[in-house]
Structure 1
Amino acid sequence: MRPFLFLSARPEVEAVGPEYESVRRAMGVDASRLEHLRLDVETLGDLRLDEYAGVVVGGSPYNVTTPDAHKHPVQRRVEADLARLAEAALDVDHPLVLTCYGIGVLTRVLGGTVGTLHGEAASAVEITLTAECVADPLMGVLPERFDALVGHKEATERLPADAVLLASSAGCPVQVYRVGRRIYATQFHPEVSTHDFVARAQVYRHHGYFPAGELRAVSERLAAASVTEPQRMLRRFVELADT
């Protein structure tokens, strides 16, 4: 069986390993089937998509809405690599999931709009599936409403023309969409448990996702949340990519 590829873009080294493990556990694969490339460290290069059953892109503190003149050269390279990946996957409808930061890159590639109107502080929010989601092979296995973990400063404000909206929340109208048959973008984090997210909040407590002085209160709220469904997305992604 072909391996999967996980692409991370977190410069904070203490967050890299835990994110990989969260994705691997949620996918239900062992380390031998999930290769890992840190885009903040090395370039994507000449990626052969056909060598992988599917690709998952993780989150990042980077924001696509940051003016280009203020973006670090590494961020500009990461975004160029992710845009190139998205375009290649779109050409052949290759299984791909882009999470959080990745949805912003894909939205721009497709001609949609990303802005800061619908940012959400680090928290658990209720996700509502759309009517179009019922027949979707990946998202259709989830209940109509469930809680997911979010923490982002930007979001899709205008859905790309060819995208199918699959899920929303009260504060963020575009939480998940699909392009083609097998390319998905999600604003919330499908990989993390509440324990994982509490640990991530500690790493990013000074990044503006919540007031740093409220770390303890935020951590307690996150730990008390019931988040059971989102990880099923990545396990289902593996099932579909392997068929």
Structure 2
Amino acid sequence: MSSVLYVCVRPERSAADAEHRSFRRGLGLAALDRIDLLHASLETVEWQQYEGFVIGGSPFNVTDAEKGEHQRAVEHDLERIAKRVLDGAATALFTCYGIGVVTRMLGGSVHTAQPEQAGATTVHLTDAGMADRLFGPSAPSMSVFTAHKESARETPPGAVLLATNPACTVQAYRVGERLYATQFHPEASPQDFADRMAVYRASGYFDPREYESTERAVLDASVEGEDLLRRFPGLIRG
């Protein structure tokens, strides 16, 4: 068993498998254990034995008006992980959909007024971000991939804003010393993100009529998310 567990919340098997590979490569780990919450609950693994968690993205949205049983169960399990981390028992990085789950759990607001189309963007580190162990080495800014329909309206109670940009006010924050949440996707390389676009071509993350030009822009992008991920295991050991 590795010390880090990848928590998958994607229904699409091909996208889930690819995201798992992306996180393993980005973290620099020879092996990365995995649980797919749409097929198994946390109780099916010894989840409390893990020192670190990385939570991937999902086509789910916290703001969805109607949620099925699977989505409600997923959100419940993600909140359980977040609470364990806030108790100081582990370290976690929640991405994209995960930041919405954590924001709501902390009493913050999630809205749909600041969506970002699929592509690369620059996020700017705050003073707290530049002083942070995980984000600081990337100061003063970093290029990352985003694609989302909802985001935190503001930094939720108890959280410290680490990264922002004009398109999306809350790009990343930290709660306590060990819970990190990002709106962007740090794990994806340009090819990874282009492959993911093909899976979600008709899901509203970009205009499908502009698929080829969007794909070219993604493949030509230079992003730094993996630098962030490569530092994450050090937080677990530190």
TM-score by length of 1: 0.94
Q: Does residue 170 in structure 1 map to residue 166 in structure 2?
A: yes
Q: Does residue 115 in structure 1 map to residue 111 in structure 2?
A: yes
Q: Does residue 220 in structure 1 map to residue 189 in structure 2?
A: no
Structure 2: stretches of 5+ with no match in the other structure: none
Superimposed CA distance per residue, residues 183-242 of structure 1 (whole angstroms, 9 cap, x where no aligned partner):
100000000001100000000001100122221111011111111x21111111111212
Among 191, 202, 206, which residue is 1:206 paired with?
A: 202
Residue number in structure 2 paired with 1:127: 123
Q: Check conservation: 1:9, 1:40, Cα contact below 8 A.
A: yes
Q: Which stretch shifts more, 194-203 or 45-54?
A: 45-54
Paired amino acid for 1:19: E
CA distance in 2, matches of 1:98, 1:108: 13
Among 218, 229, 239, which residue is 2:234 paired with?
A: 239
Residue number in structure 2 paired with 1:155: 151
Residue number in structure 2 paired with 1:15: 15
CA distance in 2, matches of 1:50, 1:208: 36
CA distance in 2, matches of 1:217, 1:90: 42
Q: Does residue 38 in structure 1 map to residue 33 in structure 2?
A: no
Q: Secondary structure at the match of 2:29?
A: coil
Residue number in structure 2 paired with 1:82: 78
Note the C-alpha offset of 1:83: 1.2
Q: Secondary structure at the match of 1:127?
A: strand
Structure 1: stretches of 5+ with no match in the other structure: none
Q: Check conservation: 1:87, 1:109, Cα contact below 8 A.
A: no
Among 37, 58, 64, which residue is 1:60 paired with?
A: 58
CA distance in 2, matches of 1:41, 1:60: 14
Aligned length: 238
Paired amino acid for 2:205: Y
Residue number in structure 2 paired with 1:141: 137
Q: Check conservation: 2:130, 2:139, Cα contact below 8 A.
A: no
Paired amino acid for 1:232: D
Specify whether residues 2 and 219 from structure 1 end up closer, same or farther in structure 2 by C-alpha distance, changes over 3 A only: closer
Paired amino acid for 2:26: A
Superimposed CA distance per residue, residues 21-44 of structure 1 (whole angstroms, 9 cap, x where no aligned partner):
00000000012xx10000111111
TM-score by length of 2: 0.96
Q: Check conservation: 1:93, 1:182, Cα contact below 8 A.
A: no
* Segments of 4+ moved more than 2 angstroms: 46-50
CA distance in 1, matches of 2:162, 2:89: 18
Q: Which stretch shifts more, 149-158 or 82-91?
A: 82-91
Paired amino acid for 2:85: A
CA distance in 2, matches of 1:71, 1:168: 29
Specify whether residues 152 and 108 from structure 1 end up closer, same or farther in structure 2 by C-alpha distance, changes over 3 A only: same
Q: Check conservation: 2:93, 2:182, Cα contact below 8 A.
A: yes
Q: Secondary structure at the match of 1:87?
A: helix
Residue number in structure 2 paired with 1:6: 6
